[in-house]
Amino acid sequence: MKTMSHVDKESLPFGRLCFISMFVCPPDAQWDHDPRVYRRTSQCDRLCVDIGSHVAETPSPDVSHQYTPKFLSAHKGEATACPEVWQDGSSLRTTIRAENEVEANKLANNYRFGFRKWKSHVTERPIEDRSDIVRELYSELNFVRPQGSLITCGNMAYLILFGWWISLAYLLICVLMFLTIIGVPYGKLCWKLSCYFLWPFGKSILKPRSLVRRCCVKFPHCEAIPEESDSKEVKESTPLLMPLSVPIEVPPQRMRYWCRVSTYVWLLLGYPLLGLIHGLACFLSWILVFTIPVAKMNARTLAIILLMPPEDVHIHRLKKPQGCESEVLLCCYHAFNWYYYKYTLDGINVFAVNLLPLVITTLVVGYVDTENQFVSSEAKFAAAVSSIIPLSYYIGMGIASISAQSNFAVGAVVNATFGSITEMTFYITALLRGHKAGTKCYEEIVKAALTGTLLGCILFIPGISMIIGGFKHREQRFNSRSAGVSSALLFISVGGVFAPTLFSKAYGSLVCAGCSSSPANTSGPFTCLLRCSYLLYGLFSRPLVYTISVLLPSAYLIGLIFTLKTHSHIYDIQVSDGHDHQQGGHGTVVHWSRLRALSVLIMATLLMAACADLTTEHIKPILDHSAISQYFIGVTVLAMVPEIPEIFNGIQFALQNNISLSLEVGNCIAVQVCMIQIPLLILFNTFYDVGFVLLFSDLHLWASIFSVIVVNYIFMDGKSDYFQGTALVVVYLILLALYFFAPSPRAC
């Protein structure tokens, strides 16, 4: 490897030189499997990656997930400073953390202007490379460790929520087995398990040593040494909380278990009933998420323990780890763990997995119970809106997976296509339903939702991110130049979207067609229904709207060229390895392939369209009987519920001191609403006239303009703290108060 003195400095782009390390990197002799050395080197190898430049094509020979740009080389023994941020005038280089090249590609692709950020891992991380807390989450509850206090709030909650009725069920099955006479051994087993499940903590279910060929559990005090021929199976990278994967010899008497009459009595009378009990316990504890250890305990009991010969199941209370005379089948210490919010299945967060049945149930009930005989319309509306949250997560995961395995252009096309379609499904279905019903109320709701998304993304998401991030970090800095680009585009967006409204108010005259009595009103007092409109809209404003619908996407495209090509250095990011991994070079495994991610995207988009259709179908009773202004419903519920994943993403980035990403999350959505979604709605109205008119109320107009001015003032100095975030959130709440007390639209 060349030293920095041998590098042709004139061949390097100006400002692209990143110093390697703030420590002296260890010599080759120290590059062994010592995790302490590896943690040091992970701090040494700080990487500066330009999105437009080429990332390393070959990984490091020592660490598979490290990669170095082509222009970067340094001597191992050189001690130089590695700054956390790179400054060019008023800009700061954003530092993001990546564990491998695929994750870095995903972050780099999704960071650029106009594309959503999803705080999700698209690659599978080896369990041995993760923290002890995370490894315990994925353990199978079959290891013995030194126990602490077992009387905790979570364990007491288990006794109240699960323990007593599971134990009671075993007692009843115990009586049933004793009544059959032939099932007495299983009756004794049920009695032991009844005592176990009443309070399982600190107890272990064991299999005798005679049934195993050698030690199957890695006890801390075990003196057994594995055979030399199998030494390759025991590695330093093996998780401490997981049992060693060792083949088990099945003795001849195991086969006689299936020849017993009592076995079939048990399988016919006892096992099915206990299967229902354990299945119910699994479902309830899994839905609660933080009690997943209870779900694992019940599932392991149902799949393994209840299918074993009763004489082979032994329950002991282990006060300390014992020798290798038995194999531990089940050992649980705590029923509750807060860290299960990190739990994933095939890369999907457990909350998104649990909400998927809600989506299916909502669609089935919504389209089967059309007369609202079993479920009220309000409940269907709430379920349909809630179903949008997990579908947004799945769409984001699919976009992130495709962009991580493709170049930026492919990720851009996928994001622009699916990102816009999924959010416009509600708007289009609402406009179609309103056009069919002959009312302008749905159009006003759509405009309120568009304005609410704009206000929430430029005020609430950055504000709440600044507040939470400011509590952890005293002051956070962000790239003021990139924020300035987004702010300028926000000004262009708001000016273009509200230009027809200003034009109509300046030159239009309100003309009313006259009074007419309602046909249904025959005996009541005379009522006057005015049909009013601006005279100049059809003459001059409509061509103005078409002109703006062409100019706004053009400005969006110019912004992309500016940020991707001509001035890409403004958006340079530094990718650093911020995690402790064990040396070993694990291969990168992507959770979802391109085909699978695309399939999930298409399916989630179709489900999103169906949920949007149910939302618009069942929103009418809420609009008719609600004492709250329809403006407020559109600005809050319909606008911000789909953005809940983005809110959590912004908060997580802020906690990692990446406030630049938090700000871009909101700005990108706001710009896309104005420069892509609204022009697409105008285009849709051109081909299928649903009466969508780009004229907003005064409240929408001045609230949006005021919000953009406030945000630009806050972003001016390139610094943020919790006070500035509080100011943005307070402004957002003030605007919500205006919408709450505002009268409903005349069309509603």
Residue 416 and residue 373 in one domain: yes
Answer yes or no: is 216 within a domain.
no
Buried b (16+ CB within 10 A) or exposed e, 74-105: bebeeeeebeeebeeeebbbbbbebbbbbbbb
Query: Are 383 and 405 found together in one domain?
Result: yes
Q: Model confidence over 465-524: pLDDT tens digits?
A: 999 998 888 888 887 777 778 888 888 999 999 998 888 887 766 555 555 554 555 555
Residue 328 and residue 385 in one domain = no
Among the residue ranges 132-136, 272-276, 283-287, 560-564, the one predicted with the least confidence is 560-564
Are 368 and 331 in the same domain? Answer: no
Q: pLDDT-derived band of residue 284, with 50, 70 and 90 as boundaries?
A: very high
d(CA 217, CA 458): 54
Q: How far, CA to CA in Å, does 318 sit from each of 141, 148, 158, 313, 324?
A: 14, 12, 20, 15, 13
Residue 555's nearest CA partner among 427, 717, 678, 419 is 678
pLDDT of residue 403: 73
Q: Which residues does residue 315 pair with via DSSP β-bridges, in sequence order?
A: 205
DSSP state of 182: T
Distance CA 403, CA 420 (A): 16
Helix or strand run (H / E) with residue 349? strand 348-349
438: left (phi over 0), alpha (psi -120 to 50) or beta: left
Closest CA to 113 of 658, 484, 648: 484
- The answer to whether residue 687 is domain-embedded is yes
Domain count, the chain: 2
pLDDT above 80 (res 689): yes
Residue whose structure tokens are 């990197």: 25
Do residue 526 and residue 469 come from a single domain? yes
Is the pLDDT score of 87 beyond 50?
no
Same domain for 367 and 328, yes or no, is no
Query: 33-50, pLDDT tens digit by residue?
Result: 333 333 333 333 333 333
Window from 210-219, 644-653, 678-687, 698-707 with minimum mean pLDDT = 210-219
Average pLDDT of the segment spanning 272-283:
95
Task: Note the pLDDT of residue 510.
Answer: 56
376 Cβ neighbours under 8 A, 6+ residues apart: none
pLDDT in tens, 427-459: 888 888 888 888 888 888 999 999 999 999 999
CATH of the domain at 524: 1.20.1420.30
> Using CA atoms, how far apart are residues 291 and 295, in angstroms rounded to an integer?
7
Distance of CA 566 to CAs 18, 480, 492, 559, 560, Å? 21, 18, 20, 10, 10
My answer on whether 580 and 469 are in the same domain is yes
Instruction: Give the confidence band of 730 by pLDDT, cuts at 50, 70, 90.
Output: very high
Q: Are 469 and 556 found together in one domain?
A: yes
Does 274 lie in the same domain as 377? no
Q: Give the pLDDT band (50/70/90) at residue 406.
A: confident
Using alpha carbons only, give the angle 564, 567, 570 rounded to the nearest 5 degrees.
95
Residues 6+ apart with CB under 8 A from 585: 62, 63, 64, 65
**pLDDT reading at 312 higher than 60:** yes
Give the domain-ending residue among 339, 364, 387.
339
Distance CA 114, CA 53 (A): 19
Boundary-marking domain end, from 319, 339, 359: 339
Digit-coded pLDDT (tens) for 114-126: 455 556 777 877 7
Specify if 6 maps to a domain.
Answer: no
Tell me what the mean pLDDT of segment 686-700 comes to.
87
Q: Which domain holds residue 286?
A: 133-208+259-339
pLDDT of 90 higher than 70: no
How confident is residue 81, by pLDDT bands cut at 50, 70 and 90? very low
Q: Are 422 and 392 in contact (CB under 8 A)?
A: yes
Residues 364, 484: one domain? yes
3-state helix, strand, coil in the chain (%, to 5): 60, 5, 35
Domain boundary among 323, 339, 355: 339
More confident residue, 737 or 241: 737
pLDDT of 535: 52
Question: Helix crossing, 441-455 with 722-741: angle to 10°?
Answer: 170
Q: Find the range with the poorest average confidence among 84-93, 316-325, 374-383, 645-654.
A: 84-93
Residue 125 lies in a domain: no
In a domain, 551, yes or no: yes
Question: Most confidently modeled of 53-62, 261-270, 571-580?
Answer: 261-270
Instruction: Check if the beta carbon of residue 662 is closer than 8 Å to that of residue 650.
Output: yes
